[in-house]
Structure 1
Amino acid sequence: MELSLLNVTKTYVDVNVVDHLSIHLQPGIIGLLGENGAGKTTLIRMLTALMKPSAGKICFDGKDIFKMDGDYRKVLGYLPQDFGYYPDMNPLDYLGYIASVKAIRPALAKRRIKDLLQVVSLWEVRKKKIKKFSGGMIQRLGIAQALLNDPKVLILDEPTAGLDPEERYRFRQLLCSLASDKIILLSTHIVSDVESIADQILLMHKGKLLDSGTVEELIQGMPICAWKIKVSRYQADSIKQKGIVTSSTQSHEYENIRILCKESPIPGATQDACTLEDVFLFYNRKKENIHVVL
């Protein structure tokens, strides 16, 4: 099973919002990581067949998804940033309605709804009105509606926005339990949402795919290192010009700085382990032409 993007481009008024992107996606969790405005949502709209590319092809198992039409929708599950739901409905009624829209046979829909509400830990509140749900409960209901047709491709657009840390953790664990036989694409600008669960990371910036790989591969491919230093406050500004500052805290006359640069910024600096967030910062700052010592 494979979802392939072949030189995919989307152009608006001579600007490539998605710019000649090629990648092959296979079962597992794929983190689509990029700042707001990177082109993630436009890419997702094309992957869900809501928008056609200006150039290039998107194929599922070798078949153009736009020529597959209804056959592609049968294998697709989608959770947009703001999915539509009816506040006065309960989960049973809401999912029953969505199942009818997706033309799922009533007997099968009944079984799927029960199973999914148990999977997303909402069975006990199946008769409670959705308007009384927390943000995390609503997102879990969104996952359930996206899974009703047992999709092979599950696409999630900024699914943890507005959730507290505990709900985000539960959401990530739920995705891990679903990933063995599905292509799950999770779009986000929050590094921690994908760092611990993604099998593959796609780094996007201004429509381009900057790099891809596992978290470990991306970190190992970094051409610079992370350093921790403690300097007097009057030295701090000159030190910060030597790379990308990831954190800075002040105490009395000293400043503790963590900085990304190729070589030790001053004698005695301590090297620190790089993280996916460092990779994300490096690529985005580099593309913005901010001075980075290589």
Structure 2
Amino acid sequence: MQIWVENLNKSYGSKTALSDFNAVFEDGIYGILGPNGAGKTTLMNILTDNILRDSGMILLDGTDILDMKEEYRKIMGYMPQQQQLYDVFTVQQFLLYMGALRGMSKKRILGNMDILLSLLNLQSVRYKKLKQLSGGMKQRVLLVQALLHNPKILILDEPTAGLDPRERIRLRNLISDLSKDKIVFIATHVVSDIEFISKEILLMKDGRLLDMAPPDVLQQKIRGKVFELTIASQQLKQVKKEYRIGNLYRSNDEVVVRVLSENQPASYQYREAAPSLEDVYLYRLET
């Protein structure tokens, strides 16, 4: 299965949300990174057919998704960022309703529900009303409804929002396990959620796709530009003026600062550091 996106454009009045977006996607996980206003949500909404593009094409195995209509929605699952749920429904009632909207039989819905509720540790709240659930539980219920019909294309907008670290890891591993025969898109601000499971990372800014490559390739592109400085506390203010700073921590009377620089910071005690995906984000998107 292949999704071919060609010259995709979308504007809201004078605001350009997507500009000449081009990419090809095959089975695997694609992490989408970018600051607010980068165009991530607009791209998601166009891929889900929730909004119309101004121009361009999205072809699934050679057929435009607009021409596929209902057939496309049958193989696409979507988990929105907002928790817009029917609070008076129980978890089971909500999932039965969502499955019925997709034309699934009750037997198939309940069978898939049994498996997914177990995978996402939701068995104990199956008969609770949605308004009784924590934000993290509601987030997992949203993922269950996206997976309920075993979609071939899975679109997830901030899927780990509200989850504690254990549930975030559990969810990340589950998504990775499910991706072997699916095209999965994950838009997130949490770099660690996609760093180790993504086939490729999309870097977006101001509606444009800046780069698209495996995480290790993106990291290699900024090798030689990431350094750790060991400085006295009183030097920190000056270092902040001179460099983009990632992490810092204090060690006794000294401060170790991770910085991004085109040149070696020879004025300070430093060592070159191996780039991380977080460094890539700061270097490519926070300028």
TM-score, normalisation: structure 1: 0.90
Q: 1:90, CA displacement in angstroms?
A: 2.1
Q: 1:39, CA displacement in angstroms?
A: 0.8
Question: For the Cα contact (< 8 Å) 2:245–2:259, is it kept in 1?
Answer: yes
Q: 1:115, CA displacement in angstroms?
A: 2.4
Aligned to 2:175: 175
Alpha carbon RMSD of aligned pairs, Å?
2.0
Q: Quick one: distance in 1 between partners of 2:131 and 2:286?
A: 41
Question: For the Cα contact (< 8 Å) 1:226–1:273, is it kept in 2?
Answer: yes
Question: For the Cα contact (< 8 Å) 1:223–1:262, is it kept in 2?
Answer: no
Aligned to 1:285: 286
1:38 aligns to what SS in structure 2? coil
Say if 1:226 and 1:98 are closer, same or farther in 2 by CA, change over 3 A. same
Q: Quick one: distance in 1 between partners of 2:121 and 2:134?
A: 13
Question: Within 5 A, what are the aligned runs for 1:196-207?
Answer: 196-207=196-207
One-letter amino acid of the counterpart of residue 230, structure 1: T
Aligned to 1:276: 277
1:247 aligns to what SS in structure 2? strand
Gaps of 5+ in 1: 287-294
1:120 aligns to 2:110 (yes or no): no
2:286 aligns to what SS in structure 1? helix
1:195 aligns to 2:195 (yes or no): yes
Q: 1:169, CA displacement in angstroms?
A: 1.4
Question: Within 5 A, what are the aligned runs for 1:138-177?
Answer: 138-177=138-177
Identity %: 37
One-letter amino acid of the counterpart of residue 195, structure 1: E
Q: 1:241, CA displacement in angstroms?
A: 4.6
Say if 1:252 and 1:59 are closer, same or farther in 2 by CA, change over 3 A. same
Q: 1:250, CA displacement in angstroms?
A: 5.9
1:141 aligns to what SS in structure 2? helix
2:20 aligns to what SS in structure 1? strand
2:156 aligns to what SS in structure 1? strand
Q: 1:223, CA displacement in angstroms?
A: 5.7
Encode CA deviations 1:138-167: one digit per residue, 9 max, x unaligned.
222111111122111010111222222222
Encode CA deviations 1:115-155: one digit per residue, 9 max, x unaligned.
22223222343222323323222222111111122111010
Aligned to 1:60: 60
Q: Quick one: distance in 1 between partners of 2:251 and 2:75?
A: 56
Encode CA deviations 1:7-58: one digit per residue, 9 max, x unaligned.
1010222332111010111111110111111111111110001111111111
1:35 aligns to what SS in structure 2? coil
Aligned to 1:134: 134
Encode CA deviations 1:176-197: one digit per residue, 9 max, x unaligned.
1211111110001221111122
